[in-house]
Every structure is written in structure tokens, then in C-alpha cells.
Amino acid sequence: MNSLYRIALKLVCEQLEPVQTIHMKKIEVTDDVYDALKKLTSDFNQQPNDVLASLLDLPHANVTSHDPLIRFLGSGKFRALHKDADKYLSILGWVASQHPADFREYIIFLNRGRRHLSMSREEILEQSRYNQARQIPDTPYWAIMNIDTPTKRRFLTRVLDFCGYAEALVEYTCNAIGMSRPASRFRFLRS
């Protein structure tokens, strides 16, 4: 059993609540709509109802954790992002908004070596004229962007560790960037 599966299973088991009967309505959708819903799915056990609930910012029954970061990753706003770079910036923006003092302190702490986050675009460009910088949404901070997905995950791990997140939550969050699963693992029920 791989470690990510064990961590996800642990998170789910910690949040189990008594089962409630939910009466659901059936709707018919075209194959195109169904395929679009399938593409928005990030969890192989996710049902179409959960995808729609996330897109509409509605609460749904299969929330795996009450942690605000998990809720953000399941939100329609985050799930609508398709590029790893946009997901990376979105997570950084969320962390900066939830932990403004820690985030700022972390950037100040990065005073040596290659800085992947900075207070300004110019600070990133000073390191190399080939660097690409983008502003982190809703913050005054900037991030280096011409890095591969594994490097983005490493940088994100450092930020989340610095802000005090648990190892399992850090791993879950980092896997939201660049996560790809084969379509055969999606579980959609057609009636």
C-alpha cells in the first residue's frame, strides 16, 4: 500500500461521521458534459455530485477533512484551475492570506541562495535575467515560475512546513499540483 494512499485513508477515517440518508435527484447530461465533469475530478472516488457541489461552492457529504486547506483544495475556485503554475500560485496565495506573518517571515528568511519567493519581481530577476516571475494572487509577493512541477512541490513543502502544517497535509496539498490519475480509476456511476 503506498504512503499517499495510507495518508488519505487516515484522513478519511479520522473524519468519519454517522451515515445519513441523502435523497438524490437524477439528472441527465450529455456525454460532453459528463466528460467535462470527469476532467474536473481530482479524487478517484469522487462522484459527479461532489464535482458539481464544489463548482457551485456548496457543502457536500464526502468532505474528507474539516481543515480549511483541504476545503480550499476542494473548492470550485481551485478545481477550476488546470495549469500546475496556476494551482501553485493559488495555494501560495491562500497560505499567505491565512498566515500573513509566517509567510512574510519565510520570505525574509530566504535571504541566501536562489529565492523562489520574494517581495518584488526585481528581487527574482536580480538572481538571473532568465527567471520568470509572477505575482502571487491577492498578495504583494512574487514567485519564480520557470521551475518544474517537482521543484514547485519542494518549495511548497518548505512554505507549509514553515507555517506549521502536518506532514500528511503537506503531502496531500503538494499532490494537488500536477496530480494525474488514469481515467480508469475514476468512479462515476451512470444510470
pLDDT tens by residue, 1-18? 456 666 666 665 565 554
Instruction: Give the Cα separation of 92 and 80 in Å (integer).
Output: 16
Q: Are 87 and 176 in contact (CB under 8 A)?
A: yes
Query: What pLDDT does residue 2 have?
Result: 59
Query: What pLDDT does residue 56 have?
Result: 63
Q: Which CATH superfamily is domain 3-185 in?
A: Replication modulator SeqA, C-terminal DNA-binding domain (1.20.1380.10)
Instruction: Give the Cα separation of 46 and 138 in Å (integer).
Output: 30
Element (H, E) at 135: strand 133-135
Mean pLDDT by 10 residues, the chain (191 residues): 60 54 72 76 56 59 63 89 92 96 88 77 81 91 89 91 88 76 33 39
Helices vs strands, H then E, count in the chain: 10, 3
